[in-house]
A and B are shown apart, each in its own frame.
Chain A
Amino acid sequence: MESGIRVLLLIAVLAALDGCASVRNWYQQRHAGSNPPATAQSSTPADDQTTEGAPPRVIEPQVERRPVKVPNIHSSNIELGLYYGALSIEDFGVNPVYGVTAAYHVTEDFFFQAEAGRSHGGLTSYEVLSGNAPLLTGSERRFTYYDLSLGYNFLPGEAFIGRGIAMTSAFYLLGGIGSTDFAGDTKFTVNFGAGYRIVPRDWLAFHVTVEDHVFQSSLLGYTKLTNNLEARLGTTVFF
């Protein structure tokens, strides 16, 4: 009886020892496959959660995404140019005119345009017929104007030269206000007109423009509205 109790106690002590304790996990070891129990015990709880139930990973991706730096996209909305043409100054004949334009394209439809031009008034019919009775001095005949206009593009299209060359084009309307310095006085001026723009390169354009500059004049003794029509050719560069 006493020896029987000893045998039971010995079995209990052996079962509590480390060597036999590892046998407790043998069922799990078969299911866990290659993972030895010693490493499983030494790993962190978080690792246990990821490895259990998930398929084994062959390669851990170590790629860091590079943040894309967006470069500044150049905006090409400014159009600067020169023009040359003919200006019909009411009562003073048709004379050459030249000038500069600066435009800012706000949308595909609308643009703002500033222009400044200069011409020189000729002789009136009276001066020609009377022979030698000048109405104005040389500097007073200088016709200088500027205006600020709003432009509207319409009828966009393409112009073709032969089979291989296509250039975008558009008609536009212009309307604005400005001032005209002529005959020793500066007058408030309303301008309106229309033009055709052809764009052979993204940075280059050619224009044909017809514009009327309307202002009040009392030069000939009574006040009247004068219409000063201008037709011109121009070239502009986009920036």
Chain B
Amino acid sequence: MVLAWLLTPAAAGARDYLQLFVTQPYLELHTGPGRGYPVFHVVPRDESIDVLFRRTDWFKVRTEHGVEGWASQHDMQQLTLADGSPFRFDLGDRAGFTSHRYEMGIFAGAWGGANLISAYYSVSFNSQMALEGAVGQFLGRYSNGETGDLGLMHVLLPESRWSPFLTLGIGTVHTEPKATLVQPTDRTEPTAYVGGGIRFYLTRRFFLRAEYKAHYIFTTRNENEEADEWKAGFAFFF
């Protein structure tokens, strides 16, 4: 029983690989996952391959004779499934920019006059609406601190290469004033923000994103504070 239990996952794993058939004259296999790595093997027409895994736009495949190599996304599109239908998969192209599930990016910018390092992650509900979270650290002359935001993003023209968007959400900011100031106590305060920006599709899975957020900081003092956040950076979708 134990032996069977031990062996089953391996056997099941071996069967789980997708089998594809070469219908073009041949399929080139490279030594590595990149166009710069040389072609070392070709799979002739009508032979099949097993797809082991994928790295970026390259697929590691194994031929019927046990030769393993890397096939490009472009070549893999020419292959067919066992029922004769073409093999289709997520390409990570301009259509993916319009409609995707996740995106991630890093930014440089300014938060209330201080230097800002920031990163964000978002989950899309559809091509126009997404939930996104952002974290950042600002480093200024008078204070340092960290920010965290959670909010909604609405993309106005998702199919356009230049697609503007609006954001709305809540957050928190932790401020550490420099010790030389009068009020040296650290403080953590809730915030709310409204903002907007623009995304520009570069190539493949990459796009540029620049945005502005107007933060309202709800302090325990007599007056609430406001802080402007400007940032721009690289992002990608997957």
Contacts and interface: CB of A to CB of B under 8 A. Distances in A.
A74 B104 contact: no
A48 interface: no
Contact of B18 (A71, A148, A188): A71
B83 A73 contact: no
A75 interface: yes
A188 B141 CA distance: 10
B206 A106 contact: yes
A92 interface: no
B162 interface: no
Interface of A is mostly: strand
Interface residues of B, number: 42
Given A75-B53, A170-B34, A106 B106 contact: no
B57 interface: yes
Contacts of A73: 18, 51, 53-54, 59, 89
A35 interface: no
A148 B53 contact: no
Contacts of B85: 68
Interface in B46-61: 51, 53-60
Given A75-B55, A108-B33, A108-B57, 16 more contacts: A66-B83, A67-B83, A71-B16, A73-B53, A73-B54, A106-B56, A106-B204, A106-B206, A107-B92, A108-B35, A112-B234, A112-B236, A157-B36, A178-B117, A186-B144, A188-B115
Interface of A: 65-68, 70-71, 73-77, 104-110, 112, 148, 150, 153, 155-158, 166, 168, 170, 176-179, 186-188, 199, 202, 238
Closest CB pairs A-B (n = 3): A156-B36, A168-B32, A188-B115
Interface of B: 16-18, 31-38, 51, 53-60, 81-83, 85, 87, 89, 92, 104, 106, 108, 115, 117, 119, 137, 139, 144, 204-206, 234, 236, 238
